[in-house]
Chains A and B, each alone.
Chain A
């Protein structure tokens, strides 16, 4: 929940010309709140614990879990895509449950209004009978926001998330409300039933650090899923990550060192997606648009988080390779040639990884 308590506000207070930015409510320095060294030294075991807890509810999907955690630990947002029934929502709910964080969910539908996301002013009568406007916070005032089936909401409602995702703040009626840290949006969408959906605009898709593809489980995993959920089993998970821990891990992610060679490798991969450069043969052949510098930042950051959760103290080129697909797949736009050949964004990225 946002720490901003806008409280009662008279109507004219709310129509000031200049938006009033509230004092940032940054948490105490995470290094002060928790012992960073301890968090760092336990990182590998923490990740193992998280996996263990999540596996009580979600069977398999280790890569998806790793990528969701990467998004969380880089203080970013993730978009999960997969067919219905693969456990996208369940996974996000479970991850939220093991973290001692506030969690809210929006079930996106075409009639979802922006105010349903951000909140709105409501008229309230005080004890003296005087009517005042009070800001009623929307579900966006939380730590983890699950926007389920985000492509079913209208572009207007989707856009209401833009400021929150990028700036970590919401401006309503001239007043800017800071969101609490950490704040991340984990959205889901499915590639089926495109009728009645509103594909996310490029600008909004770009705000998601990762686009995570959720695939089918293996036969053995599915057998276990059926066994678990066709019995009296009631999945329960323990909270193992406090808010301070999450903030400390986010801080550690930024501290993760990376060699210039490895960073340049990441940049070369992103550069290779841009058809504007005539030397990029694959991009020129298969892509209309390439990834932006935000993708470069995201790729390096995601690789750092991956290195951290795997208990390493440096970023390797394997991290870059592993994160290239989720970081780039929603940031490149295929051209007619690749669609004619039935190539996906992942196929093009594979070719780029081979070439670079």
Chain B
């Protein structure tokens, strides 16, 4: 065996030992992953060696077919691939250029660092996968997932120590955990009609934080700045800087849509004939003191006024 082939054999040995290491790691990952599945399915985990071995064999075959030793060298060592191939294919020729090339390649191969074949990322990922899958396998084995049911999970959550921990994790714990577990608190909040009346925009919300308007206890719409738009919440509007209470009667004019855009009002589906003054409509809340203001407003926004 000549010098060149001897050096090539050495490099190949390093290359294949690193590949083998990678395949062994793959085998481990495959075995542990299989063991986790087998453990859950209540099989003997030793059977997991079979799919792992098949996977490792296929991986080894793939590496063998790929044989990218030259590819690994190419990126790091400029044109060594072409030099090496040329030298190997022509080593039997006797001329000064070939002799020079063989010597040159042998010298370059001495300088090859084994790290060129060692892909740090690939190996790191595999080692990490082995660690994680080991942890999962241990967890699965200790927890005995075969007996894990929804009831057992519930019992676990009701355990005072677990519950305390979860409460701490979820803030003050008021409601959230009970809600999760379907407790009494949830029922009293959302099914009591007594409480419901006091919530939301209709009632103004006695319970702090529930759709309360800027003026506490005055309703959800009360106190909002409505500008020139009489629509806010249905109960009030600000016309010419004066707050006016309204009662809307859909039976008189159907829906009223008045929106002011760019200083001009657009009136849709609104018939002035349907509007009645306080004298004609005893039910209307707009009192005589506000009648003029309301009239001025509608005169202002009417088309052609």
- Distance between B80 CB and nearest chain A CB, rounded to angstroms: 10
Q: Is the CB of B101 within 8 A of A313?
A: yes
Chain B residues with Cβ below 8 Å from A167 are none
A284-321 interface (Cβ within 8 A of B): 308, 313-317
Chain B residues in 8 Å Cβ range of A308: 97
Which of the candidate stretches A82-90, A141-149, A249-257, A325-333 sits at the interface with the other chain? A249-257
CA distance A339 to B31 in the complex (A): 64
Give the CA-CA distance A37 to B96 in the complex, in Å.
Answer: 7
Q: Which residues of A contact B97 (CB under 8 A)?
A: 40, 252, 255-257, 308, 313
* CB-defined contacts of B104 to chain A, threshold 8 Å: 313
Measured between beta carbons, the chain B residues less than 8 angstroms from A23 are: none
| Cβ contacts under 8 Å, B89 to chain A | 257, 259-260
Q: Using A40-B100, A257-B101 as known contacts, say yes or no to A315 and B86 having CB atoms under 8 A apart.
A: yes
Q: How far is the CB of A268 from chain B (nearest CB, A)?
A: 16
Q: A260-B89, A261-B85 are in contact. Are A314 and B101 (CB under 8 A)?
A: yes
Q: Are B96 and A36 in contact (CB under 8 A)?
A: yes
How many of chain A's residues touch chain B, expressed as a range? 10 to 19
- Of chain A, the residue at the smallest CB distance from B85 is A259
Residues 73 to 130 of chain B near chain A (Cβ within 8 Å): 79, 82-83, 85-87, 89-90, 93, 95-98, 100-101, 104
Given contacts A313-B101, A313-B104, A314-B101, contact A258 B86 (CB under 8 A): yes
Range class of the B interface residue count: 10 to 19
Query: Is B100's CB under 8 angstroms from A259's CB?
Result: no
Q: Please indicate the chain B residues that have their CB under 8 angstroms from the CB of A259 in the complex.
A: 82, 85-86, 89-90
* Interfacial chain B residues near A316, Cβ < 8 Å: 79, 82
Flag whether A205 is at the interface (Cβ < 8 A): no
A residues 174-210 near B (Cβ < 8 Å) are none
CB distance from A304 to the nearest CB of B (A): 10
- For B79, what are the chain A residues with a Cβ–Cβ distance below 8 Å? 314, 316
A228 at the interface (CB under 8 A from B): no
Task: Report the separation of the CA atoms of residues A29 and B75 in the bound assembly, to the nearest whole angstrom.
Answer: 42
Rounded to whole Å, the gap between the CB of A161 and the closest CB of chain B is: 33
User: Can you name the residue of chain B whose Cβ is closest to the Cβ of A258?
Assistant: B86
8 A Cβ contacts from A33-75 to B: 36-37, 40
A40 to B90, CA, bound (A): 18
- The smallest beta-carbon distance between B143 and chain A, in angstroms, is 57
Our pick among A258, A313, A315 for the contact of B100 (Cβ within 8 Å) is: A313
Binary contact track B54-84/A, C-beta < 8 Å → 1, others 0: 0000000000000000000000000100110
Known contacts: A257-B101, A259-B89, A260-B89. The answer to whether A314 contacts B82 by CB under 8 A is: yes
Residues from chain A with a CB closer than 8 A to the CB of B98 are: 255, 257, 313
- For residue A262, CB closer than 8 A to chain B, the reply is yes
With both chains docked as a complex, state the minimum distance between the C-beta of A319 and any C-beta of chain B, in angstroms.
10
Which residues of chain A have C-beta atoms less than 8 A from B85's C-beta?
259-262
Known: A313-B104, A314-B101, A316-B79. A262 touches B96 (CB 8 A): no
CB neighbours of A36 from chain B (8 A): 96
In B144-190, which residues have CB < 8 Å from any A CB? none
B33 vs chain A, min Cβ distance (A): 40
Among A228-279, those with CB < 8 Å from B are 252, 255-262
Q: Which residue of A lies closest to B93 (CB)?
A: A257
Identify the closest chain B residue to A318 (Cβ): B79
Residues of B within 8 A of A315 (CB): 82, 86
| A313 partner residues in chain B, CB cutoff 8 A | 83, 97-98, 100-101, 104
Chain B residues whose CB sits within 8 angstroms of the CB of A40 once the complex forms: 96-97, 100
What's the nearest-Cβ distance from chain A to residue B109, in Å?
14
- Distance of B191 from chain A, by nearest CB (Å): 74
Would you give the shortest CB distance from A252 to chain B, in whole angstroms? 7
Q: Please determine whether A314 and B95 come into contact, CB atoms closer than 8 angstroms.
A: no
Q: CB-CB < 8 A to B87: which residues of A?
A: 257, 314
Residue numbers in A under 8 Å from B101 (CB-CB): 257, 313-314
**Nearest CB in chain B: distance from A297 CB, A:** 18
Instruction: Please name all residues of chain B whose beta carbon is closer than 8 Å to the beta carbon of A252 when the two chains form the complex.
Output: 96-97
Q: How far is the CA of A313 from the CA of B89 in the complex (A)?
A: 14
A261 contact set on B, CB distance < 8 A = 82, 85
Q: Which residues of chain A are near B96, meaning CB under 8 Å?
A: 36-37, 40, 252, 255
In the bound assembly, the distance between CA atoms of A163 and B97 in angstroms comes to 33
CB neighbours (8 Å) of A255 from chain B are 95-98
* Residue with the greatest number of chain A CB neighbours at <10 A, chosen from B85, B96, B98: B96
Report how far A259 CA is from B79 CA in the complex, Å: 12
What's the minimum C-beta distance from A58 to chain B, rounded to whole angstroms?
Answer: 30
Interface centre among A257, A258, A259 (most CB of B within 10 A): A257
Closest residue of A by beta carbon distance from B91: A257
A261 to B96, CA, bound (A): 22
Return chain A residues, CB-CB under 8 Å to B95: 255
Closest to B98 in A: A257
Least distance between B299 CB and chain A CB atoms (Å): 75
A selection of 10 A-B contacts at a CB cut-off of 8 Å is: A40-B97, A252-B97, A257-B86, A257-B90, A257-B93, A259-B86, A260-B89, A313-B97, A313-B100, A317-B82
Contacts A256-B97, A313-B98 known; 10 new A-B pairs at CB < 8 A: A40-B96, A252-B96, A255-B95, A257-B89, A257-B93, A262-B82, A262-B85, A314-B82, A314-B83, A316-B82
B interface residues, Cβ below 8 angstroms from A: 79, 82-83, 85-87, 89-90, 93, 95-98, 100-101, 104
Smallest CB-CB A-B distances: 6 pairs = A257-B90, A313-B101, A314-B86, A259-B85, A259-B86, A255-B95
